[in-house]
Amino acid sequence: MIAAATGRGLREALDPPRRQGRRIGLVPTMGYLHEGHLSLVDLARKEADLVAVSIFVNPLQFGPGEDLARYPRDLDRDLSLLRERGADLVFHPGVQEMYPHGFPEVTVDPGALGQRLCGRFRLGHFRGVLTVVARLFGLFRPHMAVFGRKDYQQGALIRRMVGDLEMGVDVRLGPVVREGDGLAMSSRNVFLSPEERSQALGLHRSLSRVQASFREGERWLHRLQELLARELEEYPLLKLQYGEIVDAESLEPVDPVRPGAVVAVAAHCGGTRLIDNLVLEG
């Protein structure tokens, strides 16, 4: 496995396989990897000749008072996990390398899609996400890129950006990977106390109750959202930021609710912000 920390090193690693016509798959991450990230490496491996992973904690997507300085980092551990998983190339630049001229003046505007759900509470977050992903696409020029479906809005926005700007990257979304008890895997889970972690299970359990009601025939938006809110009230350490049922593409509320709609939630558990989602099936 090749590890590169500079753009020059990345180009030197990618030029030979690109000349050979090999299909390059990219898995962008912020590091502190878990099985959810590693499952994306597996997904990329199925369709790419060379699997590349980026590790970069992007300051552009953190707002004032968010956990940029606190975000967990362990590069040696990440490199070991990726080596064991069979990644071919890892790019782990510092901020100076990623933004050599300071934070970019030209950024990617997420538009109305970025103002819904998480975008209402994390101003500027998705502008930062799309800008760094666009830069990574420029650096790697991948044929395909794989992202996790846990960040559902992020995936929808990246797909929209790639389509609207004709970037020519095949974007795939891997499924939400969960712990054995249902908690969605997240690098931030490390911050949860035992009691908070127990309460955090309320996110998936509440989503599952909505899924069960939908399968039993409930289609009215207000009833399903009331059920979601009631279920979440059973977990007092979860401070709900939003709980919505939206169209999978537009992220706008749908009423009546149809199969394929997404139930998306965000909540603070102690000092940790958690997100989760579930695609409704009839």
Q: Which residues are catalytic?
A: 37
134 membership: H or E segment, kind and range: helix 125-140
Q: Measure the CA–CA gap between 131 and 181, rounded to whole angstroms.
A: 35
SS (H, E, C) 214-273: HHCCCCCHHHHHHHHHHHHCCCCCEEEEEEEEECCCCCCECCCCCCCCEEEEEEEECCEE
Q: Measure the CA–CA gap between 279 and 246, rounded to whole angstroms.
A: 10
41 membership: H or E segment, kind and range: helix 35-47
Q: What angle do CA 279, 281, 282 make, to 5 degrees?
A: 155
Q: What values do phi and psi take at 254, rounded to 5?
A: -120, 130
| 3 state SS of 149 | coil
| Cα radius of gyration (the chain) | 19
Residue recorded with tokens 């490496």: 41
Contact 249, 240 (CB under 8 A): no
